[in-house]
Amino acid sequence: MLTPRLRETDSVGRILFLTPDPGAADALQAELIRRSMRCESCATPTEAMARCAIEPPALLLFDTRLASKPEDLGPLAARIMASQPTAIVLAVLGHREDIRFRLAAMRAGAEVYLPLSLDTGELADHLARLIGARRMAPDKILVVDDQPVAALFASRILQGAGMITERVCDPLEVMQALDRFAPDLVLMDLYMPGASGIELTRIIREEDRFADLPIIFLSSELDPEQQIAALRIGGDDFLAKPVAPDRLVERVQQRLHRARERARRQQGPETIDRLTGLATRDRLLKRLDQLIGLTRPDPPPGDRRSANMRLTGPRCLVYLELAGGTEALERMAAVVAGRIEEGDLAARAGELAIAVLIRRDTHLALAEFAQTLTYQVGRALADDSLAADLGGGWYPLVGGCNDSVTLLSRAGKAARLALRRGDRDLGRYVGKDNSTEGLALQSAILLAIRASRIQLLFEPIVALTGAEGERYEVTPRVRLGDGELLAPADFAPLLVRANAGDDLDRWLLTASLNAMRDRLIAGKPVQLFIHQSFAIVAKEDWVDWVRDQINDRDLIRLRPILQLEVAEADAYLELASNRSSQLNRLGIRICLNGIDFSERSSRVLHAVPAHFARIGKQVVQGPEAESMTWLIQSAKASGAKVIATGVDGPEAVGRLFSAGVDLIQGPYVQPPTSIMDYDFIGAEAADPTSETA
């Protein structure tokens, strides 16, 4: 939530900056004075407590250089803030990117964790927004409940906490209320006549503009399965009736804070491409990831739906690619920025390419917009005498693809087909449906693998406790001759049917080892988690071959982690156990993927010696904390360190840390990228070449 610059007459209190650096304090004070805000500084917690006793500040800015260890941060902040008669906003200024300091700040109740390296002017803007938002713009809550008394009760509680509320007792009027009231959060009943809270949430989530709107379910439903179903469809939290007033206010405020922080991150400079001024490719991929699973086919004929419960229209990706220079790209970006509508997302998708994610009422409207945009860009390039050929393509999001990278590549393929034709007709991706084309696709995949047309993506794996060095999981994308990128789910089954799974496994291992060798030579050692299927694991010479590949690249002290799927390991349990023991004798460690609550996972964990066990996102995002703790401790009892994947926010990090997880990965850490550029925790990270790392 952005806040207008504060007027000099506004009384917003003062900021107390607790820091050992007087120079940083002076610089921040000068910036805040320009924003009509007061700032004082002190060098010790004792001095801060004395200052607070005289006049409580509106915000305490805590410099982590005063905490020698992450666990010291919470008690120090608590000592200062506990005795204050009024609430103080806590902001933490981190002197290093260490997730343990982030966890400590979160647990201490910090509103935000900002890097010490942040420009002083940007830091002042952040602090001004933190104070100004609280004072100048009360949060707006839409309460949706068919019981007027229950809606009034929740509204009065939230109004008492300084929020503005509006009540909706007819669920079919929710969309109009969203347009009219523009709430910051929705408090939703689960069971209502005419439409359930789950149905309404799905409709709300299909609107791009409401994709990040916090939704809290408030219901008397006690069945955990129903509660989880509500969260999976797009809810952010679930509260069971009756709820204590202070608990309701606390959970609403927590969700509002997280929404503001997410919005701040999405609008940050790292999400904007500097050359075009459009969004970055990573930001577009994250938005696509959000939409995957929300698309659904059109309703069957005769399916009546209320106009008040309207379905949003279909979506597609429009892709524009140039054969020209950066001047033409900048001109194309300017045209696109001027033609897109509210809710569209335009991003630089390649060196000379722009993609636009759009939603319209019909598929025809999608095609018309894509064709018109292609024509307008082409005409602008010609009018400016920019020598550049243009190809435009589009790909509808119809729910048949669950990989954002593949979605984007398919739209790009359509544009490149149009570019090669040399005309301005719009290209459209056409899938391969019949068996003849399926065989052609299988042959194309095999050819791509043998020609090494495979892109490696690297997803960082970060330790929650201690310094673990740099670790990434490697996942492949196969690039067909026409430029389309296929995810493992698209090509792995075809390789199995063609008895060619070992071709990919061999390529993946050797390419990953080459990447490890190159990083080691550059003085940046990294350890990679590399998947191997039982198509190759079952071969007699596989262990010797792996050993020789490692030795040939002089990676004796920097061995990879080999990943085996639990489902495959259970099917070949004796073989998996033998192979793991053989690899362990060579100092090569195993990671078991797909640990869950099944008996199969229990069998594999007890039979196969493994150094790591990975819990998938379906488990991480599904079960309750107690069950999760039991699963994690069971895996650790077998001697494995536990990795949790699919981590999508700070709440999940705190829950997993408390449950005993050792390492995490997922969108909140960093999605898979083509380069290994993640800034791992601390300058004292352990050397991954050591045998004990």
Predicted confidence band at 69 (pLDDT cuts at 50, 70, 90)? confident
What's 382's domain CATH number?
Answer: 3.30.70.270
Predicted confidence band at 425 (pLDDT cuts at 50, 70, 90)? low
Contact 144, 165 (CB under 8 A): no
Q: What is the pLDDT of residue 305?
A: 36
How far apart, in whole angstroms, are the C-alpha atoms of residue 485 and residue 285?
14
Range with top average pLDDT, 276-290, 367-381, 429-443: 367-381
pLDDT at 232 over 90: no
pLDDT at 481 over 80: no
489 and 353 in a common domain: no
**Mean pLDDT calculated for residue range 538-551:** 94
Q: What is the pLDDT of residue 424?
A: 63
Is the residue at 8 inside a domain? no
380 and 260 in a common domain: no
Is the residue at 678 inside a domain? no
pLDDT in tens, 630-671: 889 889 988 999 999 888 766 677 778 878 899 998 877 777
Q: How many domains does the chain have?
A: 4
Contacts of 435 (CB under 8 A, 6+ apart): none
Q: Which of 433, 457, 483 is the last residue of a domain?
A: 433
- What is the SS3 string spanning 233-249? CCCCEEEECCCCHHHHH
Q: What is the pLDDT of residue 399?
A: 57
pLDDT in tens, 483-528: 778 878 777 777 777 777 788 888 899 999 999 999 999 888 999 9
What's 217's domain CATH number?
Answer: 3.40.50.2300
Q: What is the pLDDT of residue 225?
A: 67
Is the residue at 503 inside a domain? yes
Q: Which of 395, 412, 433 is the last residue of a domain?
A: 433
Give the lowest-confidence range in 415-419, 449-453, 680-684: 680-684
How far apart, in whole angstroms, are the C-alpha atoms of residue 666 and residue 33?
40
160 and 67 in a common domain: no
627 and 498 in a common domain: yes
163 and 70 in a common domain: no
Predicted confidence band at 299 (pLDDT cuts at 50, 70, 90)? very low
pLDDT in tens, 107-123: 788 888 888 888 888 88
Residue 319: CA count within 13 A, CB half-sphere: 29
Range with top average pLDDT, 79-83, 271-275, 406-410, 645-649: 406-410
How far apart, in whole angstroms, are the C-alpha atoms of residue 672 and residue 666?
8
**Mean pLDDT calculated for residue range 610-618:** 89
478 and 365 in a common domain: no
Is the residue at 438 inside a domain? no
173 and 287 in a common domain: no
Contact 577, 603 (CB under 8 A): no
Average per-residue pLDDT for the chain: 80
How far apart, in whole angstroms, are the C-alpha atoms of residue 422 and residue 688?
51
pLDDT at 311 over 60: no
Q: What is the pLDDT of residue 616?
A: 81
Residue 247: CA count within 13 A, CB half-sphere: 10
Is the residue at 1 inside a domain? no
410 and 503 in a common domain: no
Q: What is the pLDDT of residue 432?
A: 53
132 and 156 in a common domain: no
The DSSP 8-state label assigned to residue 172 in this structure reads G
Q: Which two tokens stand for residue 532?
A: 């191997």
pLDDT at 213 over 60: yes
Contact 219, 238 (CB under 8 A): yes
Is the residue at 684 inside a domain? no
pLDDT at 307 over 70: no
In Å, what is the CA distance from 379 to each residue of 372, 426, 453, 484, 501? 11, 15, 35, 28, 48
pLDDT at 691 over 60: no
How far apart, in whole angstroms, are the C-alpha atoms of residue 100 and residue 466?
9
Is the residue at 304 inside a domain? no
Q: What is the pLDDT of residue 266?
A: 55
236 and 148 in a common domain: yes
Contact 454, 448 (CB under 8 A): yes
**Mean pLDDT calculated for residue range 147-169:** 90
Share of the chain above pLDDT 70, in %: 82
Three-class SS state of 67: coil
Q: What is the pLDDT of residue 445?
A: 79
Residue 117: domain span: 14-136
Burial 337-349 (b: 16+ CB within 10 A, else e): eeebeeebbbbbb
Q: What is the pLDDT of residue 5?
A: 31
Kind and range of the H or E run holding 421: helix 404-421
199 and 113 in a common domain: no
375 and 257 in a common domain: no
What's 500's domain CATH number?
Answer: 3.20.20.450
pTM given for the model: 0.53
Is the residue at 450 inside a domain? yes
Contacts of 510 (CB under 8 A, 6+ apart): 549
